[in-house]
Structure 1
Amino acid sequence: MTTPLPPGRAVALDGLITHIRDIPGDDPDAEPALYVHGLGGSGLDWADLAPLLTSRLSAQAIDLPGFGRSEPGRRYGVAACAARTIRWLEESGRGPVHLFGNSHGGTVSIVVAARRPDLVRSLTLISPAMPFTDPRWSEHSRLLPLLLVPWVHVLSARYLSTLDPTEVARDNLLRCYGDPTLITEERVARVADEVRRRQGLPWYPAATVRTFRDLVGAFLRAPLPGGGSLWRTAAGVTAPTLVIAGRRDRLIDIRVAPRVAAAIPDSRLLILDTVGHLAHVEAPGTVAGAVLDFLADR
């Protein structure tokens, strides 16, 4: 059974509440780290991996704007989430940190590392949501037409309120796991508790839709000239980087991870054959071992 993360605390950043969970290291000299979750997630997503790294890291997990227990932001998307993450690193004074990001949080972490190399000691990316254009590689592609519907977040809120949290949790886990036999009832119940809480947050559907819409827009802009390409941003990352992906990822094209590792100059790549989109949840021991080996060389 996963050890629950501490309940965390609310901090005010530019007048908006951001939720932070502290995962202290085992040693006073443990190095600072920050975990950044994916779209629709929260700092709780790191409950499996974070305790396995306390021998080396004294970490925090941040809830991005509108997710987890953080208040909604004035803006959403990669740039806004990166700006909030940078503000917290500045406010906390803990940088440079070992920065971890999963999915959308991986994209956010790439932007943070490129914009503020002084704040990032190393970068670990787990299935980063970097641009790809073949919709057949993502189950999220069926949601793309909905982004064109006006006020879709209002309709989504009404629809989500009618769904059974346990079934939503089970469906989400099946979509994210490479090996569904590893999904326990304890895991389903824990995710269902979060789903139930989100159903009571009036801003959650808007935060999800607007963040997803921004990410799709970033994918479409990636091949265009100019400074807005996420691939050009990745090429500007100077921090040593570990890229981890699951070959059974049903949300992000598996060809993305090698391209990310190729784009970032100082990087290494790990592909896990039987794992899906959430390697840090599905195979936390394997991921922790890879991270500790990676950090040992720093």
Structure 2
Amino acid sequence: MNTSTTPSSAVAAPDTAPLSPGTHTYRLGGLVQRYHVYGSGPVCVAHSGGPGIDWEYMRMPALEEHLTMVYVEPIGTARDSRLPSHPHGYTRERYSSFLETLINRLGVPSVHLLGHSHGAFVTAHHAVHRPRQLAGIVLYEGAPVTGAEHGEEAARMVEAFAAKHADQPGLAGVLAAFGAMSGMSDDAQTEAVAKGVLPSYFADYWGDEERFAAFRDAVRATYISGLDEDGNPDAVDDRVALKGLTVPALVVVGRHDVICGMRWGVELDELIPDSRLLVLENSGHMGHVEEPRLFADAVRDFVLDTSVPQSTRA
């Protein structure tokens, strides 16, 4: 997982530059915001998924060879970054507003923004509402909608996964974890579910279990409800908004993803003007782990191709 030569525990001194390697911390709205810098080159800010999954699973050493990767530690995932309304109130708009402040602090004219899973939903929202500082976005395993339609498609894909792996002894545990999702109410339950469903997030988890088990064991999660402060779902339907997106976009989807799979990757690509689509044929939901070199090469090329500032962007 962490194969960079920079220790993950390295902490940048308070007076160092905002893009110096290590962990950076500042306060915003009474909360602690952290981000972690690795690599060199054009700046790419990475927002992890969940909501509530710890940022470290997003480490991408193959990208750090070419880009300055800024890994956001989303608010709510550490105790000193939790809202007074925790576990509620972590809307896309709030994540986006914290992203805006972080990007401003980096001191560069523009950045690329890469969001994985729920982070892709945040990235799409940010690109629609705050595009000015974005040179491009990577929607990695995202979708244009949530709610019943998305849930039905995920259920269909999980059924197909179960049929394909019916002979695997570990399948029962995966299905039990999916069944426990609706009952999550604390951090321990959320982490157990995240680890429990993880084999379904790979194209062939059991075919290389020794490799992927270490990744699974390292996952950390915080319970975040997905509701706003008033208890309403933070529903997503970006289909209309994405048709007017002004920011260059790369859509990345794994052929075997059960959560934000091919249907949604293709739809995102069709909705967004002049987007690029990368299909990772041998990946599920974790292409940066399953096919790291192919993933990194495509993201690197996209970033380099779209790094020229576009001053006329709204």
TM score, norm. by length of structure 1: 0.76
Q: Could you tell me how far apart the structure 2 residues matched to 1:256 and 1:109 are?
A: 15
Which of 45, 58, 67 is the matching residue for 2:68?
Answer: 58
Could you tell me how far 1:267 is from its partner in structure 2?
0.8
Q: Could you tell me how far apart the structure 1 residues matched to 2:232 and 2:303 are?
A: 30
- 1:1-298 alignment, distance < 5 Å: 2-3=2-3, 6-7=8-9, 8-25=23-40, 30-39=41-50, 40-47=52-59, 49=60, 51-67=61-77, 71-73=81-83, 74=85, 75-131=89-145, 133=149, 135-139=151-155, 146=182, 156-157=185-186, 160=189, 170-181=195-206, 183-185=208-210, 187-195=212-220, 198=221, 204-205=222-223, 207-210=224-227, 217-219=234-236, 222=237, 230-298=238-306
Look up the equivalent residue of 1:233 and give its one-letter code: A
Could you tell me how far 1:102 is from its partner in structure 2?
0.6
Could you tell me how far 1:180 is from its partner in structure 2?
1.0
Q: Are 2:259 and 2:285, in contact at CA under 8 Å, matched by a contact in 1?
A: yes
Could you tell me how far 1:209 is from its partner in structure 2?
4.6
Give the SS at the match of 1:210: coil
Q: Who is 1:225 aligned against?
A: none
TM score, norm. by length of structure 2: 0.72
Could you tell me how far 1:122 is from its partner in structure 2?
1.1
Q: Could you tell me how far apart the structure 2 residues matched to 1:277 and 1:145 are?
A: 18
Could you tell me how far 1:170 is from its partner in structure 2?
4.8
Q: Could you tell me how far apart the structure 1 residues matched to 2:282 and 2:151 are?
A: 22
Q: Are 1:21 and 1:43, in contact at CA under 8 Å, matched by a contact in 2?
A: no
Which shows bigger deviation, 89-98 or 182-191? 182-191
* Unaligned stretches of 5+ residues in structure 2: 10-22, 159-177, 307-314
Let me know the Cα RMSD of the aligned residues: 3.2
Q: Could you tell me how far apart the structure 1 residues matched to 2:209 and 2:2 are?
A: 11
Q: Could you tell me how far apart the structure 2 residues matched to 1:131 and 1:215 are?
A: 16
Give the SS at the match of 1:65: coil
Change (3 A) 1:296 1:87: closer
Q: Are 1:18 and 1:64, in contact at CA under 8 Å, matched by a contact in 2?
A: yes
Look up the equivalent residue of 1:64 and give its one-letter code: P
Q: Are 2:112 and 2:303, in contact at CA under 8 Å, matched by a contact in 1?
A: no
Could you tell me how far 1:281 is from its partner in structure 2?
2.2
Q: Could you tell me how far apart the structure 1 residues matched to 2:90 and 2:138 are?
A: 23
Give the SS at the match of 1:34: strand
Change (3 A) 1:38 1:92: same
Give the SS at the match of 1:286: helix
Q: Could you tell me how far apart the structure 2 residues matched to 1:145 and 1:160 are?
A: 9
Q: Could you tell me how far apart the structure 2 residues matched to 1:264 and 1:158 are?
A: 36
Q: Are 2:226 and 2:233, in contact at CA under 8 Å, matched by a contact in 1?
A: no
Q: Could you tell me how far apart the structure 2 residues matched to 1:17 and 1:214 are?
A: 24
Q: Could you tell me how far apart the structure 2 residues matched to 1:247 and 1:180 are?
A: 14
* Unaligned stretches of 5+ residues in structure 1: 147-151, 199-203, 223-229
- 1:67-105 alpha-carbon deviations (Å, 9 max, x no partner): 257611352121211111112112333341011111110
Identity within the alignment, % = 24
Q: Could you tell me how far apart the structure 1 residues matched to 2:202 and 2:231 are?
A: 25
Q: Are 2:205 and 2:212, in contact at CA under 8 Å, matched by a contact in 1?
A: no
Look up the equivalent residue of 2:66 and give its one-letter code: R
Could you tell me how far 1:54 is from its partner in structure 2?
3.1
Q: Could you tell me how far apart the structure 2 residues matched to 1:214 and 1:255 are?
A: 30
- 1:23-58 alpha-carbon deviations (Å, 9 max, x no partner): 131xxxx211100001132321221x2x22234321
- 1:156-200 alpha-carbon deviations (Å, 9 max, x no partner): 228729xxx7x75652320211121465446434543444xx5xx
Q: Are 1:38 and 1:105, in contact at CA under 8 Å, matched by a contact in 2?
A: yes
Give the SS at the match of 2:235: helix
Q: Could you tell me how far apart the structure 2 residues matched to 1:128 and 1:282 are?
A: 17
Change (3 A) 1:32 1:24: same
How many residues in Structure 1 have an aligned counterpart in Structure 2?
263
